[in-house]
Structure 1
Amino acid sequence: MGILRLAHVDVRTPDLDLSAAYYTEVMGLQQVARTDDCVYLKCWDEEDHHSLRMRYHPRTGMDSFTFRVEEEDDLHELEKKVESYGCPTSRVSRGAAVGQGESIRFEVPSGQIMELVWDIEKTGNLLGKHNPAPVPPPDLPGIAPPRMDHMLVNAEEVAESAAFFIDVLGMRMTEQVLDGNGHQLGVWLAGNTRSPHDIAIVNGPNGALHHWAYWLDDWDHIRQAADTLAYNGVQIDQGPTRHGVTRGNTIYFFDPLGIRNEVFTGGYWVDPDTEILTWTEDNFGKGLFYYENVVSQRFLRMHT
């Protein structure tokens, strides 16, 4: 029972054509649907209808993010818990959102809009179900990640937000960074996956999106992604490098409208009883970027 994984991220863009071109040609996502004001995209190994929705709006930003729950009954149970906590919820009816059934929507304590859904339209990956190849077609453009992996949002009160995701939504903390007084500056949280994180929360303005990340299979794919980004003139923010937190290998970069993306690989498996890893503020340079051992304020403070 409870939260399974990140399902999709919904963002706004003032240039839908430019954004669609970047995410299909440079990132190598598949465009699965388009309406007058929205584009829906997914990675080649994702079964769900989409993992990214882009909506035309004069101002860039995030509309909402959606997590999938394990069982249909979890929607009702989590709806009661969210409302008991003090966050009003609303029901989004089946058919109101492309590619999914009924969901619940609410504002988390840090100000972002979150949805929970169980019923998602399954459209399959590019491999098929009959004698499938283990790899995608070789002519896919761009980086072509197999799936979306996680996201990071900001919160003015990290501890309050962490408590909501843990105590109300049932996620588990894998890592944290504490200041000298023991206050949480950042937390990494997992649903019912074996990943070290499905969402992270770091100190910053309420309502802000820091980034979302795509999974790549290994360090060599990270190197190839760096080549693709450089060839296409994409602004690289950090990397290729490695995190101490999560142990992941990474590159951060910006889409044409200034939204930060990440490609990520590595990490470690997490069991339900895995002990929380704690970083102290004075050692967080290695936690953030292990090779550089620097806490980049520009990296932490730039957000959407």
Structure 2
Amino acid sequence: MIETHRDGEGRVYLKGWTEPELFSVVLREADEAGMDFQGFKVRDEDTLTQLSRDLRAWGVDVQEIPAGDLDHCGRRMQFSTPTGHRFELYATKTYTGPWGISEVEPEAWPRGLRGIRVQRFDHCQIHGRDIEAMRDLLSEVLGFYVTEHVIDDTGKNLAIFMSLAMKAHDVALILDDRHGTFHHAAFYVETWENLLRAGDLISMTGTSLDTAPTRHGITRGQTTYFFDPSGNRNEVFAGGSTHYPDQRPYVWHDRNIGKAIFYHHQKLSEKFMTALT
């Protein structure tokens, strides 16, 4: 990713090269790994105010964080979710345009990119106890819809994948007694070749590899996972299915969970299932 800013508290702001705003990820120093919050942009300030009312009407405690708490970002509405995580909504952030290319007759890609050449932040996977209440909150208040889910023999949801547009997913919800935990953040690249290059760089730099380049069954995306120096798991993600808001969700059964997660190997490693922050 591209470092775009550092603030007075030492936080580092980063973005993928196609992203039009100044940042999509903020890193801060902490005593342990994890995710403070995940944020979503809404249409405008009026929408932000209305969604804050809608969340309170749903019974959610909403805290307004004033503009400037994060540099280059307007006011934010922060709330706790049924899975034990913090989400935020915001409407304004400093616009910079994509990095390294003009907005007039842009070239295919910018010169000077380094590393994996991330295009954008893609999604997060989070774990908690009440994923169905989380699904209802995201769908009925914020406009998400379910693209895929994993069920057991009784029809109980074990995992729910949700999108805001036509992406395979913006958030993955996994049923887990380890409430309020974080599995990974995913970053998008365009092609399988880009993903293989990411795998090469992970090996060349001695980075802690979790899963070598392969394919998911769920989302049909191509993937590789690694751990950053703080201990958080990250994913490089390419491709993925197109999903339409009026399309029925794909269904997976837990007896085939290995194929659902790792389509080629068709089995899960213990580390993939147990390492959370």
TM-score normalised over the length of structure 2? 0.95
- Per the alignment, in what secondary structure is the counterpart of residue 219 of structure 2? helix
Conserved in 2, the CA contact under 8 Å of 1:159 and 1:183? no
Q: CA deviation at 1:207?
A: 1.6
Shift of 1:131: 3.2
User: Structure 1 residue 149 and structure 2 residue 119: aligned?
Assistant: no
1:254 is the counterpart of 2:203: no
The alpha carbon displacement at 1:297 in A equals 3.9
SS of 2:161's equivalent in the other structure is: strand
Does 2:34 align with 1:34?
no
CA distance in 1: counterparts of 2:33 and 2:147, whole angstroms: 31
Identify the match of residue 167 of structure 2 among 195, 211, 215.
195
Q: Is the deviation greater in 36-45 or in 293-302?
A: 293-302
What residue is the counterpart of 1:175 in the other structure? 148
1:272 CA drift (Å): 1.6
In structure 2, what is the Cα distance between the partners aligned to 1:64 and 1:88? Answer: 15
* Alpha-carbon distance in structure 2 between the residues aligned to 1:301 and 1:83: 34
Mark the runs of 5 or more structure 2 residues left unpaired by the alignment. none
Give the whole-Å Cα distance in 2 for the aligned partners of 1:200 and 1:76: 26
Residue of structure 2 equivalent to 1:16:
none
- 1:101-112 aligned at under 5 Å gives the runs 101-112=74-85
Structure 1, residues 111-148: CA drift from partner, whole Å, max 9, x if none?
111100111111222212233211121x3221111111
Deviations 1:82-129 (A, max 9, x none): 112221101111222212111211111111111001111112222122
For 1:34 and 1:158, locate their aligned partners in 2 and report how far apart those are by CA, in whole Å: 35
TM-fit CA distance, 1:60 = 2.2
2:247 corresponds, among 274, 277, 280, to 274
Alignment of 1:29-108 (within 5 A): 29-35=1-7, 36-108=9-81
Q: How many equivalent pairs are there?
A: 274
Q: Matches of 1:128 and 1:155 in 2, distance apart?
A: 43
Q: Deviations for 1:240-263, whole angstroms, at most 9, x for unmatched residues?
A: 111100000000111011111101
Q: How does 1:157-168 map to 2 (within 5 A)?
A: 157-168=130-141
**1:224 aligned onto 2:190:** no
Name the amino acid aligned to 1:100. Answer: C
How big is the alpha-carbon RMSD for the aligned residues of Structure 1 and Structure 2? Answer: 1.3
- Taking structure 1 as the reference length, the TM-score comes to 0.87
- Identity, % of aligned pairs? 33
Where 2:268 maps in the other structure, the secondary structure is coil
Paired with 2:247 and 2:212, the residues of 1 have a C-alpha distance of 29
Q: Is the 8 A contact 1:107 1:113 kept in 2?
A: yes
Rounded to whole Å, the distance in 1 between the matches of 2:132 and 2:166 is 23
Cα distance in 2 for partners of 1:45, 1:130 equals 14
Match of 2:158 among 177, 185, 199: 185
